[in-house]
Amino acid sequence: MRIALVELGNTGIHLNISAAGRSHTRCQHLNLGASVSSHGSFVEEDIAAMTALVTEFMTAIKVHNCQRVFGVATESFRLAANGRAVAAHVERETGCQIRILTPEEENSLNWQAAASSAATLDQLTVLSLNGGTLGITQGPANSTTPVSSHSFPLGVNILAPRTTPDGYLPAPTRIRIERHIGETLKSEFGTPKSVQVALLGEMSEGLATLIHTMRRSEVPENVTGLTLDCADLGHLIKTFEDMSLRARLALPGICPRRAPHMPLGATILRQALRSIGANTATVRTVGLKDSIFRKLAIEAKAA
């Protein structure tokens, strides 16, 4: 069975098609989270771009003859004052049914994807950093649901317009961000404890790729299993402070689209790891799409 997932995320819109174990992926960067952070709602340009892109994706879905089509939206739609109205508009114009996931649903899907790839661990903490949220879930790795689930509006694209509008993160601003994250997480997690952490999200993948490349002078073939630690992130933050954006773009292994926000992403990740008592974490290249595809495939077989 061919299954299509349209994901309206905070940094762009993704199309994922799964058929007989093979996948087809397309993505368009729209920076929706930053737009909502700046204006409080989606502006006309956002709505027009979303509608046109989802229409294009629906045409591709028909070409691939997909039997199931599922659309999801995340934090930018939850934060935008007109989020539900825009989702309804896009659904009406394109014919793609869109569900705005709750923070708990998004965390649960990320947990299931990470836990299925870390079944050998007893206890697991999943830290998911994306454009809109910082999600943290904890529990036994063999459980389909986490014991605790927390979602914070501390995503890279949400914070960037107010902290790094030109791609630079001044030291005073970084210190304020670290203090804010530390105080926010302390109220939920209390005294830090030693935990094993799986990192999800494109920013984590990008940072791990860059650190690995700078350390070993080669771009890794596979990001899954790479580790990040607080010392590496701290060194990277310091490197970015003394480097122009043009020089940053020349670094081997860096993604040009993520480059302006990487100092902020590294700061969020390092402080989050510190706050939950972790010094190192392992990158996993899975996410909510993997859990959704698995769930839809099971439902199709049951039917």
Return phi, psi of residue 179, to 5°. -65, -40
Of 78, 275, 121, 82, give the one whose Cα is nearest residue 190: 275
Model pLDDT for residues 76-98, shown as the tens digit of each residue = 999 999 999 999 999 999 999 99
Say how far apart CA 301 and CA 258 lie, in whole Å. 39
Q: What is the pLDDT of residue 154?
A: 92
User: What tokens were used for 156?
Assistant: 């890279």
Q: What is the pLDDT of residue 167?
A: 84
What domains, with CATH codes, occur in the chain?
Answer: 2-101 (3.30.420.40), 104-283 (3.30.420.150)
Q: What is the pLDDT of residue 194?
A: 60
Q: Identify whether the C-beta of residue 174 lies closer than 8 Å to the C-beta of residue 234.
A: no
Q: Identify whether the C-beta of residue 260 lies closer than 8 Å to the C-beta of residue 245.
A: yes
Model pLDDT for residues 146-204, shown as the tens digit of each residue = 999 999 999 998 899 889 888 889 999 999 999 999 999 987 876 656 678 999 999 99
Instruction: Please list the ranges in the chain whose pLDDT falls under 50.
Output: none
Query: b vs e for 4-35, b when ≥16 Cβ sit within 10 Å of the residue's Cβ?
Result: bbbbbbbbbbbbbbbeeeeeeeeeeebbbbbb
- Please tell me whether the overall predicted TM-score, pTM, comes out greater than 0.75 for this model: yes
Q: Which residues pair with 127 in a beta bridge?
A: 136, 199
Of 112, 160, 89, 138, give the one whose Cα is nearest residue 278: 138
Q: Identify whether the C-beta of residue 272 lies closer than 8 Å to the C-beta of residue 129.
A: yes
Q: What is the pLDDT of residue 191?
A: 60
15 to each of 24, 49, 244, 247, how far by Cα in Å? 8, 15, 34, 32
